[in-house]
Chain A
């Protein structure tokens, strides 16, 4: 695997983490909201 591919893995993991945590936050908020 080249350095460029590793870089893309890093970018994808970071974006996925932000998206998942943001999505879970919105889900948790919706469940808690009366």
Chain B
């Protein structure tokens, strides 16, 4: 893996003007950590099972090989599913309007881990059937207790049959996908300053998503930003990453950063507009209510 030059606000060259750190807002919506420490421990704990499977090859025991390699694969799949499930849950929790993840990965991961423990105990460690199955069941229960259940219901879906909310959830999901593609494209350049710049743009976009989620009526007004502008920003980022990777053209970089800055500013202005609108609507509602109270002689 290539070494990455570290750079940031507190680094020796943190004052690099290209980062524009003084003007940019702090990143509040950091993406979830790629691998949780518990999932990493699951991988590590399963490694002896892989070694046992390899020894079985020398012992020429086909049932042993199948059982132990199979148990190891189940543990690996469990760790992967649980890690993915934790990330999906973090995304779900961070959003005001969200659909449940398509696959209940934490539940499936716990079941896979339990199956692995059962198979490993019976066919690998030579336990009797009933105690082996018991250990498997305990492992499933421990997984469910430790990692919890996946979110199984939608949240924040309002309006007619939750249609408004579903539309918002879909629009925000698409928009978040585009921001993720932008971050991915710039990450390939191994340039911390640029990555930070795109992450800050992503944070501004995320704040806009949250504003829309909180009030789905804003979706029609925000659609242009979530769709057209973000698609343009994604396409420009992918193109820029291609060009910059080959040429390291500083002029292209300056232009790209200016574009990000403009977009970021317009996102923030638009978000402020949405909040102002909500405030005006609230003022009107309060005014109407006070008038009514006055007419009824209650105020």
The number of chain B residues touching the other chain, given as a range, is: 35 or more
- In whole Å, how far is A23's beta carbon from the nearest beta carbon of chain B? 5
The answer for the CA separation of A13 and B144 in the assembled complex, in Å, is: 11
- Docked-complex contact A21 and B125, CB < 8 angstroms: yes
The answer for the CA separation of A32 and B39 in the assembled complex, in Å, is: 31
Question: Measuring CB to CB, which residues of chain A are less than 8 angstroms from any residue of chain B?
Answer: 6-19, 21-30, 32-34
- In whole Å, how far is A31's beta carbon from the nearest beta carbon of chain B? 10
Query: Chain A's interface: helix, strand, loop or mixed, by majority?
Result: helix
- Docked-complex contact B61 and A32, CB < 8 angstroms: yes
Asked whether any CB of chain A lies closer than 8 Å to the CB of B47, the reply is: yes
- Given A25-B120, A26-B51, A29-B68, 6 other A-B contacts at CB below 8 A? A10-B146, A17-B117, A18-B116, A21-B125, A22-B45, A29-B52
8 Å CB contact of A34 from B59, B75, B113, B124: B59
- Interface of chain B residues 31 through 57 with chain A (CB within 8 A): 38, 41-42, 45-49, 51-52, 55-56
| Residue on B nearest A32 in the bound complex, by CB | B59
- Docked-complex contact B121 and A14, CB < 8 angstroms: no
Contacts of A12 in B (CB 8 A): 146
8 Å CB contact of A21 from B41, B135, B142: B135
Indicate whether A25 sits within 8 Å of B49 (C-beta atoms), given known contacts A14-B139, A18-B113, A32-B59: yes
Contacts of A24 in B (CB 8 A): 121, 124-126
- Docked-complex contact A8 and B146, CB < 8 angstroms: yes
Query: Chain B's interface: helix, strand, loop or mixed, by majority?
Result: helix
- Interface of chain B residues 131 through 146 with chain A (CB within 8 A): 135, 138-139, 141-146
- In whole Å, how far is B72's beta carbon from the nearest beta carbon of chain A? 8
| Residue on B nearest A23 in the bound complex, by CB | B48
- Docked-complex contact A21 and B124, CB < 8 angstroms: yes
Asked whether any CB of chain A lies closer than 8 Å to the CB of B14, the reply is: no
The answer for the CA separation of A2 and B296 in the assembled complex, in Å, is: 50
| Residue on A nearest B113 in the bound complex, by CB | A14
| Residue on B nearest A14 in the bound complex, by CB | B142
- In whole Å, how far is A18's beta carbon from the nearest beta carbon of chain B? 4
- In whole Å, how far is A29's beta carbon from the nearest beta carbon of chain B? 4
- In whole Å, how far is A17's beta carbon from the nearest beta carbon of chain B? 5
Asked whether any CB of chain A lies closer than 8 Å to the CB of B10, the reply is: no
The answer for the CA separation of A12 and B147 in the assembled complex, in Å, is: 11
8 Å CB contact of B42 from A9, A13, A14, A23: A14
| Residue on A nearest B118 in the bound complex, by CB | A21
Indicate whether A14 sits within 8 Å of B120 (C-beta atoms), given known contacts A22-B48, A26-B52, A29-B64: no
Indicate whether A25 sits within 8 Å of B42 (C-beta atoms), given known contacts A10-B146, A10-B147, A33-B59: no
Contacts of A11 in B (CB 8 A): 38, 41, 142, 146-147
The answer for the CA separation of A8 and B142 in the assembled complex, in Å, is: 10
- Docked-complex contact A14 and B143, CB < 8 angstroms: yes
8 Å CB contact of A18 from B42, B64, B148: B42
Q: Which of B38, B116, B135, B144 has most A Cβ within 10 Å?
A: B38
| Residue on B nearest A13 in the bound complex, by CB | B142
